[in-house]
Every structure is written in structure tokens, then in C-alpha cells.
Structure 1
Amino acid sequence: MKNVTQNPAYFQLTLFADYGRLRYLFFTLCLLIYIMIISANMVIIITIMLERSLHQPMFIFICCLSVNSLYGSAGFFPRFLVDLLSDSHFISRPSCFIQMYVIYTYASCEFTILGVMAYDRFVAICQPLHYHTKMTIRKALSLWMTGISYPFVCCFVGMYLTVQLPLCGNKLPRIFCSNWPVVKNSCVDTTHNNAVGQFVTITTIFIPLLFVLFSYVQILIVCKTASAELRGKALQTCLPHLVTFVTYSFSVFLELSLTRFDTNKINPIVTAVLSLEYLMVPSINNPLIYGLKLPQIRAAVYQFTSGPKE
């Protein structure tokens, strides 16, 4: 029997619709959001780098979150802005897999960085006498490198297996390239790909999630019998991290749900909004939460923006 499988040179993102002149409004709004993401995260990064009093593990991890937000948004927004103004929504095969890899590594690294931050808060509150020996700047950078290296390797393995699949279709019902819609176009059995995908998801998302929950249970136990001063300090430093973690977990849950549901049965606008929420809200939320809630960063930002005193 003749083999009819093929690997298309382009994928079509079918979730885009013809909105007429409204496309220019959507383009302007999304461009402003992208500029806001870049500006807010750059303020956090530059402030932490220039202010010596912020050269501490907790603020190093916050800086890493902002770097990761810039990385993830760069993998999505430039292409998305072009698609908003385009009449055809085709993306080349190499560009599609590059975008997919960037977005997936961004998502995985966000969880591992949040997991490392939970460990930092656990040591600071539950083992305060050992904090300065267990959490040095060098140790913080080592934990960050380890935290991002594993997702980069795992996502590469999963992406390599997807690239090798023979595909019989090229339609992706998304506004950006996603692994599962590509896999569903395969002409062969994808059990092996599904197993690897589930392994990557569990090790890069659910294990850090469980670790964060475990850390906060231990922190709550310590705070229950601690002084009011310690409880106030713990709340001040842990609340921004907890808000960031919950917001991002909810966003990822929605994204994972979208990849498994038949998007043809869901309103395209709802699907697009949920996909945008996954990529936009955490990147805006992180600098705003940390910039507004942590007095050290807030004071440093105010000092830089107000200029030197006369």
C-alpha cells in the first residue's frame, strides 16, 4: 500500500478570524500589553541589579521570574502581533516548533523557579539561624540554573519526539503552536509521545506544585506558634509568592484543559481569551505584585524614579 503520510512545511492557526477593522484595535491593545510587560519586568530587573541592598537570594529569584517572563512573552507576542494584522495565518514548521519550545520551557521554568522560591522562604522562616549558610548568592544561582536546566532538557526530548512524527494534517485550532494539536495530526500511533508528555508535565509542573504546598504547610505550622512579629514578616514575604503561584497555577490549569478538550466545541473567542490569559496575566502580575507588595523593591523603584535628592 502506498504511504500517503507527509510532513507539511507550514501549519495553519485556525483560531484566528477576520475581525475587519477591529484587528487594528486588537493589535494596539496587545502591543500596549506587550510594552507594559517589557517595561514592568525591566524595571524589576534593573532595580535588583543596581540596588546592592537587594542582592539577596529572594530578590535574585524575583529577578529570575522577570527574566523568564520576558523570555516567554518574546516567544509569543511578536508572532501574535503579526498574525493579528495578517489575512493568512500560516507559520513555517521550524518557526512553529521554536515557538512551541520557547513557550513550554517558559511555562516549566516558571514552576521550577516558584518551587525554588518556596524552598528559600521555607529555610528563611523555618530555619532562620541556618539561612545565611544554606542560602548564599552562589547557592541561589546554582538552584536557579538547576531549576531551568531540567525543563529545557525535558522539553527538548518531548519536542524531538513530536518533530519525528509523520503528519497527515497541518491545522492547529490555536493562536500559537501547541504540542498536543500537532500530535493529533499524526498519521501513526502516539502512545509513546503521550507517555513522555505526561512525564514532562508531572516532573516540571506537579512536583514543584507539591513541593510549594509542602513548604507552605511547614511555614504555617511554624507561624502558628511564632510571635506576631515573625508572622507579620512571613506574611509580608510569602503573600506575593503565594499570589503569584496561585495565579500561575490557575492559568496553567486552563491551558492544559484547552489542549485536551475539543476546541471546535468551544466558542473561539473563549479559547483565544483563555490562551491569552495564560501568557499575559502572569507576566504582568509578577512585577506588579512584587513591586507593590515588597517594601524593599517599592522603595528602591521610588528612589530610582524620583532621582537623587538635592
Structure 2
Amino acid sequence: MGNTTEVTFFILAAYGDHGQIKYLYFSCLLLLYITICLANIILISLIYVDRSLHEPMYVFLCSLFMNELHGSTTFFSVLLLHILADTHEIAIAYCNVQSFFLHAYGTTEMYNLAVMAYDRYLSICHPLHYSSRMNSCKMYSLIVFTWSFAFFKFVIPMSLRLQLPLCGNIIDKLYCANYALVRLSCQNISLNNILGVFSLVLSVAVPLIPILFSYVNIVRICYKSPKEAQVKALNTCTPQVISLLYFSVSGFFEMVETQFDLTYVPQLIRNVCMVYLFACPQILNPVMYGVRLTKIRNAFKKRFFPNSTE
């Protein structure tokens, strides 16, 4: 065991000193964050006020957009503050809070995508029984489970991590991540690693099962259906598949960057990839769904451009 250090704050070492260019970074990232907030809030509000969008597919989308706001706000609240700061210290309490909510964001994202895939599976593969299988009670139960499970799942790993004695306080990231904090421990972290793998399985592997099951069956049904039905099914499923792909890519980099030493990769590249995880899905999802889904486009035009014509 190394020399235990009484840690009251952590240092986010990935920021560095960017001189006057930090104001440009701050302006660009602030604009990005404002855009993320506006895009997601507009679609959440649209789904809430337009009764034609009170269907499971759009309610699940609303849950997804709320999670994008949750994840980006947790990330950008630290990022924007530290870009302009001369020192990059973060209080241990706030670091723990950020770590908790960012972890919950990732799990909620995967389970939201799983629920949305299951909803599309029922709609396309069992259209005659869709209304009975995806009623309001089941819809809201899935949403409550998605959010509550994501938060409660992380309680035990985080509780064990909080008990670890620390031998340092330097984190080579833009934000606080649970495993980055675990690696600062002076003692054996085998139990934490085992729980981390188990948590990763629950966050990624478990929701992937209904996602793969749903899309395999959707593809099978589409292959046997008329071309018009195929096009309609693909139009509703394609945004979800794209969401899954670019969230998975960014999440994969996060896991690799946390588990392995990537100091040989330029810091700027690593920072861009970190920002990508908490910025690109959050801006691309509302834009993509807003553009590709006809009912959302029509509801948007009706609310904001009532005098426009097709």
C-alpha cells in the first residue's frame, strides 16, 4: 500500500494552459451547449403540447431528449467553468456528483435506445397487438424503470469507491469518471474491477440483447413485406440505429481511454473525443429525429409556422 493522501479536491489535468485561445474554445462550446439545450427543449415541449405526438414512440423520444439534457448539462457545467479558470481544481463532493450523474446518463441512454427498439419491434412485427402490448401503463413503467435502474445500479460501485484510500488527486480527463477515481487508490481494487465489469455488462450487454433481437426481427419482417412497408419501417428505425452507432463509438472510446494508458495520443485529440461523447449525440439526436420523422416535422410547422404551406 502506498502513502495515503487526504484528498479534498481533484485536479483535472486534461485542460492544460491554452492562453488566450481559451476564450475561443469557451465561446464555441457555450454556443454548442446552448444549441443542445434549445434543440432538446423545443422537441420535448413540442411532444408535450401536441396531442398527436402522445404516442409511445414519441414519449420514448421525449425521455431520450431529457437524458441528452441531463448528460450535457452535467458535463458542460464543469467544462465551461474550467476552460476559463487558471487552476483546474474540483471539489471532491462535486467530482463525486458529476461521476454519479454521468454514469447514470450512459446507462439511461442505452436503456432508452433498447426500449425504443422494442417499441418499434412491437409496432412493425405485431401491429395488430401493438396497442394492447404497448399500453400507457407499460409505456410509463418502462420509462420509470429505465431512469430508476440507471441511478440505483451505480450506488454499490460508487459506495465502495468512496471508501478507498487515495494516493493522488490528479485525473487526466476533462471530467470526473468513476474508474479514473478508482485508479487513484492506494489499495487493491480487484473488487472494484469486478463490480465495474458487472456494471458494464448491465449498462451495455443487457440492453443490447433486446436491441439486437428487435432489429433482427424487424429486418426479417421487412424482407417479406411490400416495398412501401419496408420504406416506412426503415424511416422510423434508421434514426434509432444511427443513434446507437454513434453513441456506441463514443462510449467505446471512453472505455478504452479510461482502461488503458493513451498518453501517447495528443491531448487535443483525446479532449475532442471526450467532448464528442457528451455533445454530438445530444445535438444530433434531436436534429435527426426532427428532420426524419414526418409527424414531428408537421407538428413543428403547425406550431411555429402555421401559415406555411408544403
Residue 3 of structure 2 contacts residue 186 of structure 2 at CA under 8 Å; is this kept in 1? no
Provide the C-alpha distance between the structure 1 equivalents of 2:303 and 2:78, rounded to a whole number of angstroms.
33
Q: Distance in 1 between matches of 2:195 and 2:41?
A: 35
Paired residues in the alignment total: 308
Distance 1:4 1:267 in 2: 31
Alignment RMSD (CA, Å): 1.4
The aligned counterpart of 2:253 is: 254
CA distance in 1 between counterparts of 2:255 and 2:210 reads: 20
SS at match of 2:153: helix
Given that 1:173 and 1:263 are in contact with CA atoms closer than 8 Å, whether structure 2 keeps it comes out as no
Alignment match, 1:214: 213
**Counterparts of residues 117-132 of structure 1 (less than 5 Å):** 117-132=116-131
TM-score w.r.t. the length of structure 2 is: 0.96
Partner of 1:242: 241
User: What is the Cα deviation at residue 210 of structure 1?
Assistant: 2.9
Match of 2:174 in 1: 175
Shift of 1:215: 1.0
Match of 2:134 in 1: 135
Task: State the alpha-carbon separation in 2 of the partners of residues 199 and 151 from structure 1.
Answer: 14
Alignment-derived partner of residue 199 in structure 1: 198
- Match runs of 1:56-135 below 5 Å: 56-135=55-134
* 1:98-137, Cα deviation, whole Å (9 max, x unpaired): 0011111001100001001111001001111100001122
| Superimposed CA distance per residue, residues 47-81 of structure 1 (whole angstroms, 9 cap, x where no aligned partner) | 00010000000000000011001111111112110
Amino acid at match of 2:9: Y
Which residue is 1:231 aligned to?
Answer: 230
1:25-36 → structure 2 map (5 Å cutoff): 25-36=24-35
Task: Indicate if the aligned counterparts of 1:51 and 1:300 stay in contact, CA closer than 8 A.
Answer: yes
How far off its partner does 1:236 sit? Answer: 1.3
Identity %: 37
- Residue 307 of structure 1, CA deviation: 4.2
Equivalent position of 1:275 in the other structure: 274
Q: Distance in 1 between matches of 2:227 and 2:7?
A: 63
- Asked if 2 retains the 8 angstrom alpha-carbon contact of 1:11 and 1:92, the reply is yes
| Alpha-carbon distance in structure 2 between the residues aligned to 1:286 and 1:245 | 10
Amino acid aligned to 1:135: M
Corresponding residue of 1:46: 45
Write the letter of the residue equivalent to 2:264. Answer: K
Give the secondary-structure state (helix, strand or coil) at the position aligned to 2:154: helix
SS in 2 for 1:263: coil
How does 1:139-150 map onto structure 2 within 5 Å? 139-150=138-149
8 Å CA contact 1:76, 1:176 repeated in 2: yes
Alignment partners' CA distance in 2, 1:4 and 1:177: 22
Deviations 1:259-291 (A, max 9, x none): 112132221111101100111011001101100
CA distance in 2, matches of 1:137, 1:285: 28
Matching of residues 281-292 of structure 1 within 5 Å: 281-292=280-291
